[in-house]
A and B are shown apart, each in its own frame.
Chain A
């Protein structure tokens, strides 16, 4: 069979190398090559979407395991199930969109696009890797390009933001490395194979000690919590978002944040299920805190982009709440929320980028009445805003309701508090919309050019998906449902066995 996953992962890398070989002056060619490098993975993603077996819990499009570093049983092992397929699809889409959104970059174009494509390789790799070591490698591969993309092409405080992002993530990575080695040394036959590790469950050596298992769980959790980001590990996010160029913010919000939740679901849940149950209450409480705290902080922001960044914190809380519930509804909701947040927040960041390109600032108070001077832009923004505040009929609602559904079964109080996030989200979203778009037209911005065709092109696919998932969520839910139901049953069964 055609190795779809490797193809998707490494095709952008080929593009990156190619770009590195191009002459520096041909910036247009560089951009075109970058775009072309993201299209075949997108096509492969469409193919995967159409042929993915929705009824199977097994890994699909499996490649390997091939021996890579034999001495340490490290394998090249790729595959996707219902959990990762939506993320792979999202990554493919966001990759193309982010290249399109970067068309305006004019500083060191070559370097920017090769790093961007390298980043894409890392993202695909993380979602497709089934070997812990491979996962780790891709995880780190992602880190460096991101550091440079923020640190070189970012805003005025880019260096601070980039270092903060880098150190935060690196701290997590170190913990992950330690736990990974513990897994390796105390598994049967010493393996990094995630599927195999989940099947075994770890009980040897220090893993016989529950405290050690809890420590391992926490180590992984902190690593992933930084990425989610879970309050209080979130402060890198607003800085990174504000400083990063538009396309990088899009990638950051749409894909990178998902890796936290993905990691917890891929590693913590199946390999340490009892510990996950032990911490479920904490997960749900953190989810609640994320939702409410993020929303409240968002309301107080004066910078448009920072506000969106905090709304991400709030929206990722839904994932935590949903997944902590261990119900099929909640888990489905969490994964769907990851996907929806990816598409909706990407739109929001693209839209903020549009206005920033024109007005060169993002002070909410500095705008006003834009709906009069830029009606089409206002239309797109209101669509994204209403999607973000969970208007039924748009995708955000479906996943939020599922997260609430799941959460309420297990954690009633937390969920009730979390539902108040619905009110707060509406409040800050509409308030922002009002301050930016409604009211008297600000004379300064009367002549701003309307949203351009290229910018609309980046928004359209995301908007269509938002609408489609809202009206007919089945086509997204079917992808996840089998795997997520199996995961909830798996953890439940482990729980019973543990008792």
Chain B
């Protein structure tokens, strides 16, 4: 118990350690000092691994506490404090945050380790680890933050790091643009998030509970019932706005467009940020604010609908992609859709469960794809791969396991988590269940298409590449093996109680029970019977198996069938390949119009607003000219008249001044005579 207790005492270091690592590496990067790569790697991996150890200890400590007291707040110092608005720098330690801490630090450590090998030849090695550590800091702040503003620090922080890492190879303009797109699209979500937060805060404040911490908000949430704004229930508005925020961060319709582009970043980044952790922030956020979502059934339905719509939509796109990372990206979008589908049913634990297992197998898949790309010398097109199974056995095996897991094959992780989602959906929104099953089948097919094209059959690479094909170094394969193992075992965290019951394992859904105190559940919903559950399980398993087999067969032995389909429906295929032209539509509708508006306003500013100013200036000048002319001609004319008169008089009289003294004497004598004459007369 000693270790656990000490670890809990250090829990605030969990986000701070990666920050420290980022600061050390960042400073070294900035100063341009040459340090051995080993040191950089040690600082980066070590800080995160230490954080992982503390998280494990914290988990042990908290799980040793009685269920009702598994909610601890660690306050560091006050942050913003103004008027009624008070937010501390504080961390909330409860089962939900611990679960994610473990995932982030655990999977994060593995990916850090993997990156050491993957990035070993990159000249910006230390800059990479600076960003990666900074990301872990931000992500941990996001999940540990005890209040909304703290969460928002992390929320924006991960966006920043995502921006930096997508555009890591910034000399490539396209990659830099992808980073910018990610940040700006995320900001659109943030806009909604901020508005939702403001609305929530002031509604609570007007009810006398001015608070931003999650626990206090949860306690005050019942007061929100019946509160409306413009006739719409506040809770519904807030949850919807939060969800829009989540669609930005977690790449759901309509804001998913940034994620496929985000694959421009280094592959481990895609694994960590764009698969395992950051993109699940939206799911986490809904879990964190479950007290609101449980009060808003309409929103939940929208969340589920959007989730499953995204799931099937992106699955369709994934079919036609040839870039190995793009396939995985769309599959991530699709799986995130499943998670939102679960969150919408109110079975929050199911969403979080899928989040955890998805982190395992999708990280494994991305790292595996990274290993493949590494071996192929940067080639990402699966049409140019094939037969890699012989060259990279470890990668192949782990990749296959993860693929089976994502496809939902029993007893791998994906089976349990996806099945839980489908089961809950079946009970709440049966028609969405259909969509879910179809997407699950789709997942199995396109994933196996990718595996088949990559690892089976003949190698389609050119001779040069073929010559260099090799298995990746240990620092890359070890994380693969560990993640593959987790993809197998992860599912046993959440074996449905009904299944566990069969083999005499009561409360086998460990994760559900562990998370239970965190979530505020919606009203009890009638569930179908156990026998239905078994039936559905079998059905979805069958679908998965058929899907896997179909995916294998269609793209190895019967290539004619997909080819025929493509030939039959070329338009549909082209649309799928071009991602249904969503990017183009957005570009046309929003970006172009925004730019047009900008240019118009700038011109307006220059021509009209400034024009008015200059016009006023011009008119002033004109009137000044007129009054100046008046002044010159009329007023000054009078003055000059006086002056001129004096001058004329003077020039007439100057003749008198002869300068000869005798002349003056004549005048004087003449004057005297005149006076005398005057006196005489």
- Mark A residues whose CB is within 8 Å of B: 164, 167, 231-232, 234-236, 293, 296-297, 299-301, 327-329, 332-333, 369, 371-372, 375-376, 379, 386, 391-393, 397-398, 401-402, 404-406, 408-409, 412, 415-416, 419-420, 422-423, 426-427, 430-431, 434, 437-441, 471-474, 477, 481, 485
Contacts and interface: CB of A to CB of B under 8 A. Distances in A.
A485 B201 CA distance: 19
A235 B610 contact: yes
Nearest to B177: A434
A392 B152 contact: yes
B553 interface: no
B171 A372 contact: yes
Contact of B85 (A329, A412, A422): A329
A392 B149 contact: yes
B310 to A, nearest CB: 22
A232 to B, nearest CB: 5
Contact of A293 (B155, B199, B229, B601): B601
Given A426-B183, A438-B170, A481-B82, A409 B202 contact: yes
A300 B602 contact: yes
A398 B183 CA distance: 20
Interface of B: 30, 32, 77-85, 89, 149, 152-153, 155-157, 160, 163, 167, 170-173, 176-177, 179-180, 183-184, 187-188, 190-191, 194-195, 198-199, 201-202, 205, 229, 594-595, 597-599, 601-603, 605, 609-610, 612-613, 617
B170 A371 contact: yes
B79 A472 contact: yes
Q: Is the interface of B mostly helix, strand, loop or mixed?
A: helix
Contacts of B85: 329, 402, 405
A439 B601 contact: no
Contacts of B602: 296-297, 300-301
28 contacts: A167-B617, A234-B609, A235-B613, A297-B602, A300-B595, A300-B599, A300-B602, A329-B82, A329-B83, A329-B84, A371-B170, A376-B32, A392-B152, A393-B157, A397-B156, A402-B82, A402-B85, A408-B201, A419-B194, A422-B190, A434-B167, A434-B180, A437-B170, A440-B171, A441-B171, A473-B79, A474-B78, A474-B79
Given A235-B609, A293-B605, A297-B602, 14 more contacts: A232-B612, A234-B609, A235-B605, A296-B601, A328-B83, A376-B30, A391-B160, A409-B205, A423-B188, A434-B173, A434-B180, A438-B170, A439-B171, A439-B172
Contact of A408 (B84, B198, B594): B198
Nearest to A402: B82
Contact of A430 (B79, B155, B180): B180
B198 to A, nearest CB: 4
Contact of B156 (A231, A232, A234, A391): A391
Contacts of B83: 327-329, 332, 405-406, 485
A126 to B, nearest CB: 25
B80 A473 contact: yes
Contacts of A333: 82
Nearest to B599: A300
Contacts of B202: 408-409
B81 A474 contact: yes
Contacts of B195: 415-416, 419
A423 B194 contact: no
B255 to A, nearest CB: 11
Nearest to B167: A438
Task: Pick from A376, A438, A481 the residue with the most CB of B within 10 Å.
Answer: A438
A299 B599 CA distance: 8
Contacts of A236: 613
Nearest to A301: B602
Contacts of A474: 77-81
B173 A439 contact: yes
Given A299-B598, A419-B194, A369 B82 contact: no
A421 to B, nearest CB: 9
B82 A332 contact: yes
Nearest to B600: A300
A293 B601 CA distance: 8
A416 B192 CA distance: 9
A439 B170 contact: yes
A494 B202 CA distance: 24
A401 B188 contact: no
B190 A438 contact: no
B171 to A, nearest CB: 6
Contact of A392 (B153, B172, B597, B603): B153
Contacts of B167: 434, 438
B187 A300 contact: no
Given A232-B609, A419-B195, A386 B160 contact: yes
Contacts of B610: 235
A402 B81 CA distance: 10
B180 A401 contact: no
Given A371-B170, A420-B191, A438-B167, A477 B80 contact: yes
B188 to A, nearest CB: 5
Contacts of A232: 609, 612
A72 B176 CA distance: 64
A393 B172 CA distance: 29
Q: Which 8 residue pairs are nearest across A and B when measured between Cβ atoms? A: A328-B83, A300-B602, A438-B176, A300-B598, A392-B153, A408-B198, A439-B173, A329-B83
A375 B202 CA distance: 44
B160 A423 contact: no
A301 B605 CA distance: 11
B184 A392 contact: no
A427 B199 CA distance: 25
Contacts of A369: 170-171
B184 A422 contact: no
A163 to B, nearest CB: 8
A167 B180 CA distance: 41
B80 A401 contact: yes
B40 to A, nearest CB: 16
Contacts of B156: 391-393, 397
B184 A423 contact: yes
A105 B187 CA distance: 41
Contacts of A415: 195, 198
Contacts of A235: 605, 609-610, 613
Contacts of B184: 423, 426-427, 430
B507 to A, nearest CB: 40
Contacts of A439: 170-173, 176
Given A301-B602, A423-B184, A427-B184, A404 B176 contact: no
Nearest to A421: B191
Nearest to A477: B82
A164 B614 CA distance: 9
Nearest to B156: A392
A371 B124 CA distance: 12
B598 A296 contact: yes
Nearest to A480: B82
Contact of A375 (B32, B89, B157): B32
Interface centre among B30, B81, B201, B613 (most CB of A within 10 A): B613
| Residue in B153, B176, B597 whose Cβ sees the most chain A Cβ within 10 Å | B176
Nearest to B596: A300
A401 B595 CA distance: 27
A409 B609 CA distance: 32
A392 B160 CA distance: 10
Nearest to A427: B184
A406 B231 CA distance: 23
A146 B610 CA distance: 21
Nearest to B612: A232
Nearest to B194: A419
A332 B184 CA distance: 28
Nearest to A433: B180
A296 B593 CA distance: 12
A325 to B, nearest CB: 10
A472 B172 CA distance: 37
Contacts of B160: 386, 391
Which among A379, A392, A440 has the greatest number of chain B C-beta atoms within 10 A? A392
A380 B428 CA distance: 52
